[in-house]
Structure 1
Amino acid sequence: MSIPEIIVESEIQQAFPQFKMGYLVSPVAVSETGNGLNAKMTKVLEDIGQRMDAETIRNLSTVKATKEGYKALGKDPNRYRPAAESLLRRVSKGKGLYQVNNVVDCLNLVSVETGLSICGYDLDKIDGIIRLGVGQSEEPYEGIGRGLLNIEKLPVFRDSKGAFGTPTSDSVRTLIDKNTRHVLMMLPSFDGNVPALEAALDNLKKYLLEFVGETHPEIKVK
């Protein structure tokens, strides 16, 4: 599989000249999360719960960079938290992570390990060229588990059908489910932290190979 054409719009490039993004594409066999991944998640979540609180999460360089990116675009990052921060806050309160399926759980695991908000999609549900821009007023968007979401001034991924992803919440339209056969994961870094992106992609690839069937991940940073 090859990484599809993805265009970072000028409004993002001008606001963040240092902007970089990590990409992963892979065939997958989606299933319920197995014992091996469950054990790995339990260990990581226990560690996070012991050493992190709201302040330490907020001060993680990866979380801070995303929130500063939101501020620069005019969005309140405390009302519309990046997904990684929301997940980490949940874990720090002892609530664990939602269990979805083996692919999404790998994604969420790497997100809490790194503080990077990882956007994950069913590649076959995306139509045409992908563009990363800024959300518009009253632009329609249904977030997973959130209903209609106000994406104005959020970083937004779009295809020919409209908005399908943000670092705050993935969309119902392109969600990864039991019928998904190919996935695309995108990791935006507003401060251009290439080492953090490479480490996250390496972990994603490792976990997919270990815990998900029929995978052959391709990764890159651009």
Structure 2
Amino acid sequence: MTKIIVDSALSNLVPTFKIGIIHYTKITVGESPQMIKWRTRLYQENLYLELQEQPVTERPGIKEWRTIWKVLGGDQNRYRHSAESLMRRIAKQNYLTPFHSAVDLNNFFSLQYEIPIGIYDANLIEGDITITLGHEETGYEGLNGRYNKLKNIAYSKDTKGAFGSPFVDSKRTAVTEETTDAIQLFYLRPSFSEEESIALLNAAGKMFSQIHGGDYRIAFITKDHSQVEV
């Protein structure tokens, strides 16, 4: 079992800070099925049309997470959260290309729910996970191909150090086609109720498992319930 904790450094600044967790076991990651490729492409095309009428920063989920960024002290113009970055690409008709089933579905969920979501190979995480606020020295080699500093940005760490954030994730714990167990962190909107959050996690977990097989368990962290085991 892995313990996941949200540090009071975050929840004191944002009392409504919520994290959703899905732990997948015995999954098989590979090329996305044509159905997922088609559905993701269609979703992006429809989203592109919507974004011609409503700017990215006015989308409810994007707007809410930009507010959190500001409260935590991060530069929301220089370091945009991942859901906003994905949506800005689509607004320019720079559609996402398929990578593999886990990443493709993770991106689809992020666009659909308008929130940052990270997915990690559970076997590459060492010890318990703490989600806290980055400082001057916090950073890692990211999936964007460069070293990313995470000062004033929420991030997740294990006993080896930082590995994920709503900005960009690290190479160290990236999901690959060799991954059999994964942990997915949903940086939920603070405005979501517990019922909405659990419904979202169950819907995502069910769809992910339909593609990848295996089993999943969900968990939910708030200021008043700051740690869980998965």
In structure 2, give the amino acid aligned to 1:112.
Answer: L
Q: Is 1:73–2:72 an aligned residue pair?
A: yes
Q: Is 1:204–2:208 an aligned residue pair?
A: no
**TM-score normalised to structure 1 length:** 0.91
Structure 1 range deviating more: 181-190 or 75-84: 181-190
Deviation at 1:59, TM superposition (A): 1.7
| Contact preservation (8 Å) 1:187, 1:197 | no
Structure 1 range deviating more: 105-114 or 197-206: 197-206
Structure 1 range deviating more: 135-144 or 17-26: 135-144
Distance in structure 2 (CA, Å) of the matches to 1:166 and 1:92: 23
In structure 2, give the amino acid aligned to 1:110.
Answer: F
1:152 paired residue number = 151
Deviation at 1:149, TM superposition (A): 0.6
2:228 paired residue number = none
Which 5+ residue runs of structure 2 have no aligned equivalent? 222-230
Structure 1 range deviating more: 167-176 or 196-205: 196-205
Matches within 5 A, 1:97-136: 97-136=96-135
Distance in structure 2 (CA, Å) of the matches to 1:23 and 1:57: 26
Report the secondary structure of 1:156's partner residue. strand
| Contact preservation (8 Å) 1:19, 1:192 | no
1:142 paired residue number = 141
Distance in structure 2 (CA, Å) of the matches to 1:86 and 1:59: 14
Deviation at 1:73, TM superposition (A): 1.5
Report the secondary structure of 1:141's partner residue. strand
Deviation at 1:128, TM superposition (A): 0.7
Deviations 1:19-64 (A, max 9, x none): 1111101121010112111111122111111111495321222212
Cα 1:197–1:62 shift into 2, 3 Å: farther
Aligned-residue Cα RMSD (Å) equals 1.8
Report the secondary structure of 1:119's partner residue. strand
1:34 paired residue number = 33
| Contact preservation (8 Å) 1:29, 1:181 | yes
Deviation at 1:146, TM superposition (A): 3.5
Deviations 1:148-194 (A, max 9, x none): 01111110101100000010101100000111111101112362523
Deviation at 1:219, TM superposition (A): 1.6
Distance in structure 2 (CA, Å) of the matches to 1:49 and 1:207: 24
Deviation at 1:207, TM superposition (A): 2.3
Deviation at 1:139, TM superposition (A): 2.3
Distance in structure 2 (CA, Å) of the matches to 1:51 and 1:36: 22
Distance in structure 2 (CA, Å) of the matches to 1:161 and 1:207: 31
1:56 paired residue number = 55
| Contact preservation (8 Å) 2:115, 2:189 | no
Q: Is 1:22–2:20 an aligned residue pair?
A: yes
Matches within 5 A, 1:77-96: 77-96=76-95
1:6 paired residue number = 4
The number of residue pairs the alignment matches comes to 219
In structure 1, give the amino acid aligned to 2:211.
Answer: F
In structure 1, give the amino acid aligned to 2:142.
Answer: G
Report the secondary structure of 2:23's partner residue. strand
Cα 1:192–1:19 shift into 2, 3 Å: farther
In structure 1, give the amino acid aligned to 2:209.
Answer: L
In structure 2, give the amino acid aligned to 1:197.
Answer: S
In structure 1, give the amino acid aligned to 2:148.
Answer: L
